[in-house]
């Protein structure tokens, strides 16, 4: 069975996996298992630890369930950042290599440096070095053979801020230049929040993308 791993947003300092169940019903009805991943949010958690926890969660998942037929990542905002960091993982350090076949990154943050100059960093307390090593834009790896079958969809909302829109476009270009299969989807009529909340709807385009990705052989 295919597994969709959902990583919540909340600027790395609010929300949890417990509020992530809205993504499940349309996908479960199509035979997709949905796993909501949690991580220690700030101020308890710091950025290095959050990235490590999400990577370890993927490793744990594939170790525990041998019948998984493909892992599909979905993350929103801060969760899209963490999902993007999963794509840059050196899995030799974990002893397993998850068969990641797709990723849907929704209104994500892919360069953390601008956050250093905002109120968001008051809680995160990131240094420049931490922001640099945890910026997906700076961690893009050349697509290895296993990653060539991974379809990456980067979605951004029409009413997202200019910074979210800029980062989505530049990250998609960086992945494509490194040999990844990438699509950029600009969704009209939605903002930073309802672009993900609509995943509870069967007819929503991102719900259908998730179903289509996970039904591929």
Model pLDDT for residues 25-63, shown as the tens digit of each residue: 777 888 888 999 999 999 999 999 999 999 999 999 999
pLDDT (0 to 100) of residue 204? 64
Domain count of the chain?
A: 1
- Is residue 84's pLDDT more than 80? yes
CATH of the domain at 148: 3.40.50.1820
pTM for the predicted model, two decimal places: 0.93
Q: Is 181 helix (H, G, I), strand (E, B) or coil?
A: strand
Give CA 80 to chain center in angstroms.
Answer: 3
- Is residue 15's pLDDT more than 70? yes
pLDDT (0 to 100) of residue 197? 80
Q: How high does pLDDT run on average in the chain?
A: 89
**Residue of higher predicted confidence among 172 and 148:** 172
**Residue of higher predicted confidence among 116 and 147:** 116
Average pLDDT over residues 84-107: 92
- CA dist 50 and 27 (Å) reads 26
Domain coverage including residue 163:
3-214
- Is residue 67's pLDDT more than 90? no
Confirm if 121 and 113 have CB atoms less than 8 A apart: no
pLDDT (0 to 100) of residue 183? 92
- Is residue 180's pLDDT more than 60? yes
- Cα radius of gyration rounded to whole Å, the chain: 16
Return the closest-CA partner of residue 81 out of 196, 161, 171.
171
Write the CA distances from 214 to 4, 13, 37, 103, 144, integer angstroms: 8, 30, 18, 10, 21
Token pair 């700076």: residue: 138
- CA dist 215 and 29 (Å) reads 12
pLDDT (0 to 100) of residue 32? 86
The runs of H, that is alpha helices, within 65-118 are 78-87
Average pLDDT over residues 167-182: 94
pLDDT (0 to 100) of residue 132? 97
pLDDT (0 to 100) of residue 148? 67
Phi-psi region of 190 (alpha: psi -120 to 50; beta: other; left: phi over 0): beta
Residues with a known catalytic role: 77, 160, 192
Q: Is 115 helix (H, G, I), strand (E, B) or coil?
A: helix
Each as own residue / partner, the long-range contacts of residues 88-97 (CB below 8 Å, 24 or more positions apart, any chain) are 88/136, 88/139, 88/140, 88/141, 89/55, 89/58, 91/59, 94/55, 94/56, 94/59, 95/59, 96/59, 96/62, 96/63, 97/146
Model pLDDT for residues 118-171, shown as the tens digit of each residue: 999 999 999 999 999 999 999 998 766 555 678 899 999 999 999 999 999 999
């Amino acid at each position: 069975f295919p597994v969709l791993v959902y990583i919540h947003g909340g600027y790395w300092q609010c929300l949890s996996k417990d509020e992530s169940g809205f993504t499940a019903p349309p996908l479960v009805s199509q035979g997709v298992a949905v796993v909501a991943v949690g991580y220690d949010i700030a101020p308890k958690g710091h950025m290095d630890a959050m990235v490590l926890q999400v990577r370890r969660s993927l490793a744990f998942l594939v170790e525990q369930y041998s019948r998984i037929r493909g892992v599909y990542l979905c993350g929103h905002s801060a969760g899209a950042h963490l999902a993007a960091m999963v794509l840059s993982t050196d899995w030799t350090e974990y002893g397993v290599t998850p068969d990641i076949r797709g990723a849907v990154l929704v209104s994500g943050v892919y360069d953390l440096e601008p956050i250093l100059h905002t109120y968001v960093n008051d809680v995160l307390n990131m240094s420049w070095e931490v922001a640099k090593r945890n910026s997906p834009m700076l961690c893009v790896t050349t697509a290895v053979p296993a990653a060539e079958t991974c379809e990456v969809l980067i979605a951004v909302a029409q009413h997202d801020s200019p910074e979210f829109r800029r980062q989505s476009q530049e990250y998609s270009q960086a992945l494509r230049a490194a040999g990844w299969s990438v699509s950029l989807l600009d969704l009209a009529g939605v903002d930073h929040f309802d672009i993900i909340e609509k995943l509870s709807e069967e007819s929503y385009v991102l719900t259908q993308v998730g179903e289509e990705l996970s039904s591929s052989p």
